[in-house]
Amino acid sequence: MEESFNPFKIAQQQLGEAASALGLDAATHELLRWPMHEIKVTLPVRMDDGSTRIFHAFRVQYNTARGPAKGGIRWHPQETIDTVRALAAWMTWKTAVVDIPLGGGKGGVVCNPKELSETEKERLARAYIRALARSMGGARDVPAPDVYTTPQIMAWMMDEYETIVGESHPGVITGKPVALGGSQGRGDATARGGIYVTREAATAHNVDLTGGAMAVMGFGNAGQHAALLGEEILGLRLIAASDSKGGVLNPGGIDTKTLIEFKRKTGMLRGFPGAEPISNEDLLEQEVAVLFPAALENVITRENAPRIRCRICCELANGPTTPEADVILAEKGIIVLPDFLANAGGVTVSYFEQVQNAYNLYWELQEVHWRLDKKMTRAFASVLEMSRRSRIGLRQAAYLVAVARVAEACKLRGWV
């Protein structure tokens, strides 16, 4: 049978397995299989040369039983409604597994940000909010950054929303710059959460990570911070990293800070002195203690899974492993930290940002780190406990914990 790469079909398949393990009734399962609300908008945007371009964009509010929809906005040329639906479903399970009072949502704009000037990005960001403002708000739906969207883009979006409603509403969007009500510690939160979960998993499985190698696919926000914190907190050393243009490898070790500076200056990793070029495919197959897929979906498939040689795979990206590949990794004894648990640090600090905005009172960085560590450690412990009690893998255990919580909220509301 052909392997499915449609992320929404994969999300539905993963939910299906959880629904049968939990013995969910048919109505609850069907409710959780679909977004409760999805919006398609068409955005005319003036380009710098005076022409008008039309952009297609989406917002999916998947499930709001546990609280307002929450999820990033991705700008990508290959964005589709099914990708946004899958990401919104995973957000629903993510907020539930870390037990924060939010639902799941996601947004997407079909565009190539690399071809847009800063002023064109600003007009596109504002157009997106004008089209969707009525469906947004701290009590409805709160967006955040995702692939190729930044704190600056969040700042323009917040400003547009506040201009429309005529009041201050910093909590309408998270991942803002700190100067505009963003939280300390949001920048590295996704990676930091993943590192805390990796630490807990290593302890639970008696794996000593000190001095071990790590490889990072996708050297962006999540990937760069994973490399920095992997070194700082876990004592790992970076041997390979890649981005959309290819990667670099040095089995003797790569200095992360110098590599980040090189990418900032040149816009790529290729050509980094003292390292050899490596393809994204080969990077995944390096022998490492921890592999961080931190780019896009479906990069570990049944084709390359037999050649993956890490001890722990910390899924910072959403949906990097197909269900068929998952089975193969489990047979090989690889500890896979599932995406919606491993990368939940971002939404957790986004939630902290909303709380601080609501109180108009801001926390020190140490307080953010301490609270994040507590949330991630507790979430991992409940998933590990479920995995051991039910003799299932961590991904399935994370699904059981999260889906049971969302199903309970739907029942308590009298929806099913």
Catalytic residue numbers read 106
152-211 residues in contact with ligand NAD (CB under 6 A) are: 190
Query: DSSP string covering 341-382, please?
Result: HHTTHHHHHHHHHHHHHHHT----HHHHHHHHHHHHHHHHHH
Query: At closest approach, how far in Å is the CB of 340 from ligand NAD?
Result: 9
Distance of CA 386 to the CA centre of its chain: 23
* Site size for ligand NAD (CB under 6 A): 24
Min CB(283)–ligand NAD separation in Å: 8
Nearer to ligand NAD, 24 or 75 (CB): 75
- 322 is a site residue for ligand NAD (CB under 6 A): no
- Closer residue to ligand NAD, CB minimum distance, 136 or 226: 226
In 3D, which of 220, 230, 221, 224 has the Cα closest to residue 196? 230
Angstrom distance (rounded) from CA 355 to CA 371? 13
Q: Hey, CA dihedral for 188, 191, 194, 196, is it positive or negative?
A: negative
336 contacts ligand NAD (rule: CB under 6 A)? no
**343 touching ligand NAD, by CB under 6 A:** yes
Q: Which is nearer to ligand NAD, 264 or 391 (CB)?
A: 264
Whether the Cβ atoms of residue 94 and residue 340 lie closer than 8 Å to each other? yes
Cβ(402)–Cβ(382) under 8 Å?
no
Q: Distances from the Cα of 74 to the Cαs of 58, 160, 254, 300, 388, in angstroms?
A: 10, 18, 30, 21, 35
Q: Tokens for 211?
A: 């001095």
Give the one residue of 19, 316, 334, 372 binding ligand NAD; rule: CB under 6 A.
316
**C-alpha to C-alpha distance for 31 and 35, rounded to whole angstroms:** 8
Among 13, 244, 279, 366, the residue binding ligand NAD under the rule CB under 6 A is 244
Asked whether 110 and 42 are in contact (CB, 8 A), the reply is: no
Taking the complex as a whole, the smallest distance from the CB of residue 346 to ligand NAD amounts, in Å, to: 3
Residue 222 engages ligand NAD in binding (rule: CB under 6 A): yes
Q: Which CB, 191 or 236, lies closer to ligand NAD?
A: 191
Closest approach of Cβ 388 to ligand NAD, in Å?
A: 26
Q: Return the residue nearest ligand NAD (CB atom).
A: 220
- Chain residues 280-299 in contact with ligand NAD, contact rule CB under 6 A: 280, 294-296
Q: Are 355 and 181 in contact (CB under 8 A)?
A: no
Q: How many CB atoms lie within 10 A of CB 169?
A: 17
What's the closest the beta carbon of residue 87 comes to ligand NAD, in angstroms? 7
Does residue number 36 form part of the binding site for ligand NAD (CB under 6 A)?
A: no
Q: Which of 217, 226, 291, 376 binds ligand NAD (CB under 6 A)?
A: 217
Q: Does 213 bind ligand NAD (CB under 6 A)?
A: no
The distance of closest approach from Cβ of residue 244 to ligand NAD in the complex, given in angstroms and rounded to an integer, is: 4
Phi, psi (degrees; rounded to nearest 5) at 80: -135, 165
Whether 109 contacts 57, CB under 8 Å: yes
Whichever of 217 and 392 has its CB closer to ligand NAD, that residue is: 217
Site membership for ligand NAD, residue 104 (CB under 6 A)? no
Applying CB under 6 A, which part among 24-32, 58-66, 143-151, 156-164 lies near ligand NAD? Answer: 143-151
Residue 162 Ramachandran class (φ > 0 left, ψ -120 to 50 alpha, else beta): alpha
Smallest separation (angstroms) from ligand NAD to the CB of 296:
5
219 forms part of the interface with ligand NAD (CB under 6 A): yes
* 197 contacts 376 by C-beta, under 8 angstroms: yes
Q: State yes or no: residue 111 binds ligand NAD (CB under 6 A).
A: no
To the nearest whole angstrom, how small is the minimum distance from the Cβ of residue 415 to ligand NAD?
27
The yes or no reply on residue 221 touching ligand NAD (CB under 6 A) is yes
CA 242 – CA 100 distance, rounded (Å): 33
C-beta closer to ligand NAD: residue 97 or 217: 217
Strand 104-110 and strand 69-76: the pairing is parallel
Task: Note whether 141 binds ligand NAD by CB under 6 A.
Answer: no
Task: Please state the φ and ψ torsions of residue 278, each to the nearest 5 degrees.
Answer: -145, 145
- 145 vs 182 by CB, closer to ligand NAD: 145
Name residues whose C-beta falls within 8 Å of residue 41's C-beta, 6 or more positions apart in sequence. 56, 57, 58, 59, 128, 131, 132
Q: Which residues bind ligand NAD (CB under 6 A)?
A: 145-148, 190, 217-223, 242-244, 280, 294-296, 316-318, 343, 346
